[in-house]
Amino acid sequence: MPLVNTKKMFEMAYKNGYAVGAFNVNNMEITQGIIDAVAEEKAPLILQISRGARDYAKISYLKGIINVVVEENPDIPVSTHLDHGDTFETCKQFVDDGFTSVMIDASSRPFKENIEITKRVVEYAHPRDVCVEAELGQLGGIEEDVVGVDDVSKHIADPNQAVEFVEKSGCDSLAVACGTSHGAYKFKSEPKLAFDVIQGIGERLPGFPLVMHGSSSVLKEFVDLINKYGGKMPHAMGVPEESISKAAKMAICKVNIDTDLRLALTAKIRQVFAEKPSEFDPRKYLGPGREAIKEMVRHKLHVLGCAGKAGECL
């Protein structure tokens, strides 16, 4: 089937208490690992591309890879999404390039300006059957050129503002700051998500899909492998998977995962280089990395609860 937008996915996710995994892709091996897991588990899929990925791989190559994904997996609903578009012009470019969903992140701007920018993107995207995600509140950490706040607890989304924001902007989903953070060093102590905020927005906006950014768990097995084979990642910490599962049963319909993909790939590459220092065939170290991504994604689909849900999202 052709690419789809996220409307049906989120309707079913909200109704049936799960979240769809949104995985960032930068190259062929990462994408293959993701789709191999998704196809076996029969889950809906959102493939995210950031401006950094576009600069790294060129949109023509990324679109070519995604076209193969769609062609070879007709029973899997796939949406392509711009992650953290910061301007109307960026979002317009991705809409024009055939993406089915875009995020406009004007969360660092004043509230009124955030609404105005989001509304402008919505007015361009909706006539072209493209869904729009916006952001309210601010996350911590760093993801490419997105630099978050130092204290996430002071920038949590306001449920009352969320109602006004959605009504005035017309966005289709809302990424809410609820205590998560970008990157591998998300927290200095055990994280506590603001479930009361998720619940509060859900009560005020029944049926409206929310999004969790900065939601990689920074899985210990990959951090340990990286450190074992020459890496230096002390104190890396992510979002506990039980918290993600809990949020997915509430109003959270989309969960972003990027750092865990990077960690899985890097851990296996480091392991191959350490155990076979004479290896120079990229297939021999990218292959294990791809397999690690596949198994990690399979696991995440069950954490999110979306395994086996592809059919209802078609």
- Does 83 qualify as catalytic in the annotation? yes
Give per-residue burial for 77-111: e unless 16+ CB within 10 Å, then b: bbbbbbbbbbebebbbbbbeeebbbbbbbbbeeee
Per annotation, catalytic residue among 36, 55, 75, 83: 83
- 11 vs 97: CA distance, rounded Å: 25
Contact 288, 232 (CB under 8 A): no
Of residues 246, 260, 108, the one with CA closest to residue 177: 108
Query: Smallest Cα–Cα separation from 173: which of 2, 13, 3?
Result: 13
DSSP string, 92-151: HHHHHTT-SEEEE--TTS-HHHHHHHHHHHHHHHGGGT-EEEEEES--BSEETTEE-BS-
Q: Which residues carry out catalysis? A: 83
